[in-house]
Amino acid sequence: MKPSRYTFVLIPDHDGTKKQFNLSRKFTFLILFTIITSMTVFVISLFYFTPRVLEFNEIKKEYDSLVSERMKVLNLYNELERLKEVDRMVQKALGMDMVESKDSNKGLINPKDNKAINLDLIYNIPSILPVDGILTQEMIEKFDEFSKQHLGVDIAVPEKTPVLASASGQVIFSGMTENLGNLVVLFHGNEYFTYYGHNASIDAKLHQFVSIGDTIARSGNTGESSGPHLHFEIWKDGEAVNPLTYFPNYNKSNMSVE
């Protein structure tokens, strides 16, 4: 005759009181069935889902890699388009509206104005702060999927703060651009150029000669900008150089995140 109940005894491995409890035959088999079923489902799931999880991880890695490559391509494309736009502006200003000076200074002169740029090294190398504010973004030459190339610095200042020419030179571009909004580009001689972007308004006129410290614009939030600030770039011999090399004072208010 089959027993109707089972007794289970728990005996501790130290001197202690043993415990026992009784279960009905049906309940005992129900517990055993549940345990066996759960283990079977677990084993089947393990064999079924493990290859798929591994496959999913491989697909995710490939997807992340493709997204990373796509972001790099987009960043390169955007930067290329920006450089093309600036190049067109500079070529137009230098090639169509100006001629190269033949005197010893080798400055740019406007055919309508015989006043050439004075290439005094003291005044034609960027040497004064265009604005006095908080540095919110440093120059980024190398970039990845988490950051894009940034060829200058961003300085947060209140809107309509006077933007000063960091060196003496001539305005070769003054107008609106898609990326940098209201932009002023100055040529200082000796292959020096400076860029002042996102301005609310522009005071300097195309071809105008400006002296170091002259107000050329008013800071703003135009173009692709998230708040009032000045985007400032320095170019030398066709390459962007880090403005912090020329203006280390900005490091005192550096709040940029690498």
- In the listed set 63, 96, 129, which residue is the last one of a domain according to the structure? 96
The whole-number average pLDDT for the span 117-144 is 75
**CA-to-CA distance for 63 and 55, rounded, in angstroms?**
12
**CA-to-CA distance for 227 and 155, rounded, in angstroms?**
10
Say yes or no to pLDDT of 228 above 70.
Answer: yes
Say yes or no to pLDDT of 194 above 60.
Answer: yes
The whole-number average pLDDT for the span 31-53 is 83
Say yes or no to pLDDT of 145 above 80.
Answer: no
Three-state DSSP at 68 gives: helix
Write out the residue range of the structural domain in which residue 118 sits. 110-253
Written as one letter, the residue type at 157 is V
Most confident of 2-16, 141-155, 230-244: 230-244
- In the listed set 96, 128, 161, which residue is the last one of a domain according to the structure? 96
Residue range 126-138, pLDDT digits in tens: 888 899 999 888 8
102 is written with which tokens? 């033949």
Residues 201 and 169 in one domain: yes
Say yes or no to pLDDT of 237 above 80.
Answer: yes
- Percent of the chain with pLDDT strictly greater than 70: 69
Is 101 domain-assigned?
no
The whole-number average pLDDT for the span 174-190 is 90
Is 258 domain-assigned?
no
**Number of residues in the chain:** 258
Contact (Cβ atoms closer than 8 angstroms) between residue 193 and residue 170: no
pLDDT of residue 175: 92
Say yes or no to pLDDT of 118 above 50.
Answer: no
Closest CA to 133 of 235, 215, 232: 232
Domain count, the chain: 2
**CA-to-CA distance for 29 and 74, rounded, in angstroms?**
64
Residue 121 — very low, low, confident or very high, per pLDDT cuts 50/70/90? Answer: low
- Positive or negative: CA dihedral 137, 138, 144, 146: negative
Is 246 domain-assigned?
yes
- In the listed set 96, 126, 153, which residue is the last one of a domain according to the structure? 96
Residues 77 and 117 in one domain: no
Contact (Cβ atoms closer than 8 angstroms) between residue 20 and residue 9: yes
Three-state DSSP at 172 gives: strand
Residues 67 and 161 in one domain: no
**CA-to-CA distance for 168 and 123, rounded, in angstroms?**
6
113 is written with which tokens? 């104005």
pLDDT of residue 117: 46
Contact (Cβ atoms closer than 8 angstroms) between residue 228 and residue 220: yes
Say yes or no to pLDDT of 101 above 50.
Answer: no
Residues 42 and 20 in one domain: yes
- Residues with Cβ within 8 Å of residue 129, at least 6 apart in sequence: 164, 166, 247, 249, 250
Whose tokens are 């002169």? That residue is 109
Residues 80 and 183 in one domain: no
pLDDT of residue 50: 80
- Find the range with the poorest average confidence among 57-66, 67-76, 87-96, 206-215: 87-96
Residue range 154-181, pLDDT digits in tens: 999 999 999 999 999 999 999 998 889 9
pLDDT of residue 109: 41
Residues 20 and 119 in one domain: no
Residues 205 and 128 in one domain: yes
Beta strands 162-164; 19-24: pairing state: unpaired
Residues 209 and 245 in one domain: yes
CATH number at residue 195: 2.70.70.10
Residues 247 and 119 in one domain: yes
240 is written with which tokens? 């962007």
**CA-to-CA distance for 152 and 233, rounded, in angstroms?**
4
Residue 81 — very low, low, confident or very high, per pLDDT cuts 50/70/90? Answer: low
Is 126 domain-assigned?
yes
